[in-house]
């Protein structure tokens, strides 16, 4: 893609993503670690890089610090240089338009001057919280070929899931003729991926029209579908919205299939290993004699003395002698002490599971978490950042141990299914 014709990319990274529960207590959803070495936003940023686009604005609002640190100068994704750049666009006060972002479209509206100062034929709007691999350049070509005002990236999904998405009904040429946002009764299997290409002039005019139109899916897209040239860009590759604990965990497990369908290295996904304030050059993972690891992903800096099955380990995780980790996702520098067992859990950074403790006890996965039944209902237990689970503590299914919990927070050595500490 030549530099002149490169579209301006706007990445929506400001949402709370509250369904990820304690994983987003101190960070924005796009900054949640994923697949050992990455953060969720790396997929969008790398797709942009690999598609040859040069200018990116990242709209932040909720807990932007770890995200800003991660993006840094944008060097990790080749966005530094005279004709390239990545800019963080937080909400700001001014003569007008001073307010928090009230929605996806509102975030763009408040940055219309940014769009105008980066003249381009198209604006590509992406979401920072999806795990996918896509040639965005091809989507731009289709948009141009169709002479479309708007092109929407649409994934073919089972009809039973369409109620979670914006759904588009197309004619034989791929033109979207009807739009339904999160329909209760499915009429199509084309789900919006939250990826939009707009003709820049068209977008600016539409945003000017009605300040009450704050959301793309709810307001802008239905309006455009009703009167203008909106096309679907059908996509059949890997794409996952990892906005829930369940889908986040499943996407991690996608890495571990025998013939994996999620291939970050093959897709050219890059991360920024320097962002964490720790040396990026962790030493190779060490496997002690007597350790046992199968069907897992293990990052540099891990020390494995115990057993790890079907799990994803970020850098620096320690699994001590006699410990077992199964079906779990462990973030950086978490420690599983001797003889502890971790089954179906997500551990945030630097969490410690004391010797002989059990995370995910028992076989009853059907008692949802009492405080957040909509977040934890399949048996997954969450252990928060820097939480310390004391020795010989037994924690059940669908439990939450809040970040930085200490010994005093555990009055009983036993936490039943669905409880929160």
Partner 1 sequence: MKLKPDTLAMILAGGRVDELNVLTYYRPKSAVPFGGFARVIDFPLSNLMQSGLELVAILSQYRSYSLINHIGIGEAWDMIGRYRGISILPPFKGSAGSRWYRGSADAVFQNLDFVRYHAPKNILVLSGDHVYHMDYQKILDYHQEKDADMTVAFLKVPMTEAHRFGVAEIDDEDGQGGRVLRYAEKPEHPEFSWASLTVFCFKSHILYDVLEINAREDDSYEFGRDILPRLIREGRRIYGFKFDGYWGYTRTVDEYWQTNMDLLGPEPKIRLDEWGIRTNIEHRNIRDCQPLRVGDNAVIQDSLVYNGCTVEGHVERSILFPGIYVRPGAVVKDSVLFFNNIVGRDARLNKVVSDVNTVFGDNVEVGFTDDGVEQRVTVVGWNNEIPDGTKIGSGATLYPHLAPESLLGTIKPNEVVR
Task: Give the residues lining the site for partner 1 (CB under 8 A).
Answer: 35-37, 255, 258, 260, 263-265, 268-271, 273, 279-281, 283-300, 308, 312-314
Least separation in angstroms between residue 37's CB and partner 1 is: 6
Q: Which is nearer to partner 1, 177 or 288 (CB)?
A: 288
Cα–Cα distances (Å) from 277 to 146, 272, 401, in that order, read 46, 11, 25
Q: Which is nearer to partner 1, 177 or 283 (CB)?
A: 283
Q: Which is nearer to partner 1, 290 or 413 (CB)?
A: 290
In this structure, what are the phi and psi dihedrals at residue 34, rounded to the nearest 5 degrees? -155, 145
Joined tokens for residue 155? 């994934």
Least separation in angstroms between residue 284's CB and partner 1 is: 4
Least separation in angstroms between residue 78's CB and partner 1 is: 12
195 three-class SS? strand
| Beta-carbon contacts of residue 320 (< 8 Å; ≥ 6 apart) | 305, 306, 335, 336, 337, 338, 340, 355
Q: Which is nearer to partner 1, 318 or 387 (CB)?
A: 318
Least separation in angstroms between residue 266's CB and partner 1 is: 8
In angstroms and rounded to an integer, the radius of gyration of the C-alpha atoms of the chain is: 22
Least separation in angstroms between residue 321's CB and partner 1 is: 11
Least separation in angstroms between residue 181's CB and partner 1 is: 36
282-312: burial string, b at 16+ Cβ within 10 Å, e else: beebeeeeeeebeebbbbbbbbbbbbbbebb
Q: Which is nearer to partner 1, 294 or 366 (CB)?
A: 294
Q: Which is nearer to partner 1, 173 or 265 (CB)?
A: 265
Least separation in angstroms between residue 314's CB and partner 1 is: 8
| Beta-carbon contacts of residue 227 (< 8 Å; ≥ 6 apart) | none
Least separation in angstroms between residue 322's CB and partner 1 is: 15
Q: Which is nearer to partner 1, 148 or 313 (CB)?
A: 313
Cα–Cα distances (Å) from 113 to 16, 107, 208, 373, in that order, read 25, 12, 12, 42
Least separation in angstroms between residue 138's CB and partner 1 is: 23
Between CA 222 and CA 202 the distance in angstroms is: 15
* CB-based contact 229:147 (threshold 8 Å): yes
Given phi > 0 = left and psi -120 to 50 = alpha, else beta, which region is 253? alpha
69 three-class SS? helix
Q: Which is nearer to partner 1, 259 or 363 (CB)?
A: 259
Paired with 293 in beta bridges are 308
Q: How many other CB atoms are there within 10 angstroms of residue 182's CB atom?
A: 12
Q: Which is nearer to partner 1, 281 or 408 (CB)?
A: 281
């Amino acid at each position: 893609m030549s530099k002149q014709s490169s579209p301006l990319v706007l990445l929506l990274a400001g949402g709370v993503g509250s369904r990820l529960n304690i994983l987003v207590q101190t960070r924005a959803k796009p900054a949640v670690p994923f697949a050992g070495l990455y953060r969720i936003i790396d997929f969008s940023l790398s797709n942009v890089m690999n598609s040859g686009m040069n200018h990116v604005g990242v709209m932040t609002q909720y807990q932007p610090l770890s995200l800003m640190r991660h993006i840094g100068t944008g060097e990790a994704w080749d966005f530094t240089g005279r004709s390239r750049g990545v800019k963080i666009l937080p909400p700001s006060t001014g003569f007008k338009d001073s307010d928090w972002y009230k929605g996806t479209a509102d975030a763009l509206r408040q940055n219309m001057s940014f769009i105008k100062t980066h003249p381009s034929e198209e604006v590509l709007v992406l979401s920072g919280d999806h795990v996918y691999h896509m040639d965005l350049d091809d989507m731009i070509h289709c948009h141009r070929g169709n002479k479309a005002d708007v092109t929407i990236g649409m994934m073919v999904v089972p009809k039973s899931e369409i109620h979670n998405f914006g759904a588009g009904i197309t004619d034989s040429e791929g033109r979207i003729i009807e739009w339904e946002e999160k329909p209760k009764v499915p009429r199509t299997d084309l789900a919006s991926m939250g990826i939009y290409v707009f003709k820049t002039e068209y977008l600016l005019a539409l945003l000017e029209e009605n300040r009450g139109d704050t959301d793309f899916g709810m307001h802008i897209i239905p309006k455009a579908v009703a009167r203008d040239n909106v096309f679907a860009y059908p996509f059949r590759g890997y794409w996952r919205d990892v906005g829930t604990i369940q889908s986040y965990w499943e996407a991690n497990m996608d890495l571990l299939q025998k013939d994996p369908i999620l291939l970050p290295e093959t897709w050219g996904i890059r991360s920024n290993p320097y962002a964490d304030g720790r040396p990026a050059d962790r030493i190779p993972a060490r496997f002690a004699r007597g350790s046992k690891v199968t069907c897992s992903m293990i990052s540099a800096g891990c020390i494995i003395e115990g057993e790890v099955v079907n799990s994803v380990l970020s850098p620096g995780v320690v699994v001590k002698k006699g410990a077992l980790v199964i079906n779990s996702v462990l973030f950086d520098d978490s420690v599983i002490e001797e003889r502890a067992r971790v089954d179906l859990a997500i551990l945030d950074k630097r969490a410690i599971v004391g010797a002989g403790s059990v995370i995910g006890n028992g076989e009853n996965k059907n008692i949802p978490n009492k405080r957040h039944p909509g977040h934890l209902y399949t048996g997954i237990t969450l252990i928060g950042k820097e939480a310390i689970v004391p020795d010989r503590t037994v924690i059940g299914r669908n439990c939450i141990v809040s970040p930085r919990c200490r010994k005093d927070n555990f009055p009983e050595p036993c936490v039943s299914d669905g409880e929160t500490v």
